[in-house]
């Protein structure tokens, strides 16, 4: 995987607590602005093959809309069943109004 950061969107395009799906090198990623930070998390639930970016964000967690599993945006770890496996999270940098993500996994 590349360690280079790539622009995925503008910070001004992100609404608080509203996930945005992007693809980086064919990898689906959910970009989330919440609690004054921006996070990048793999967009596919580890329990069911559905997009996390279609779920709700609350308390720095993103919830899978299908079965209700939530994942910590900082670590990718699930906080409740039925998911038991974490999903990858990726480093984010903000440069001006640019949101940049690297596919180098943090976890």
Give the neighbor-by-neighbor strand order of the sheet with 27-34.
Answer: 20-24, 27-34, 37-42, 89-90
Given this model, what pLDDT does residue 104 score? 82
Taking the model in full, what pTM does it have? Answer: 0.92
Given this model, what pLDDT does residue 33 score? 98
Whether residue 43 contacts residue 29, with contact meaning beta carbons closer than 8 Å, is answered with yes
Whether residue 21 contacts residue 27, with contact meaning beta carbons closer than 8 Å, is answered with no
Given this model, what pLDDT does residue 105 score? 65
CA angle, corner 81, sides to 48 and 15, nearest 5?
Answer: 70
Given this model, what pLDDT does residue 1 score? 42
pLDDT 10s digits, 27-59: 999 999 999 999 999 999 999 889 999 999 999
Given this model, what pLDDT does residue 2 score? 45
Given this model, what pLDDT does residue 82 score? 93
Peptide bond into 88 cis (omega under 30): no
């Amino acid at each position: 995987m590349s360690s280079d950061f790539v622009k995925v969107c503008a910070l001004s395009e992100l609404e608080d607590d509203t996930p945005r799906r992007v693809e980086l090198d064919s990898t689906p990623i959910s970009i989330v602005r919440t609690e004054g930070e921006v996070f990048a998390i793999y967009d596919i639930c580890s329990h069911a093959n559905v997009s996390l970016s279609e779920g709700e964000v609350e308390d720095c967690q993103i919830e899978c809309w299908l079965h209700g599993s939530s994942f910590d945006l900082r670590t990718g770890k699930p906080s409740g069943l039925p998911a038991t496996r974490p999903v990858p999270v990726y480093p984010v940098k903000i440069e001006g109004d640019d949101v940049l993500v690297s596919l180098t996994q943090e976890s």
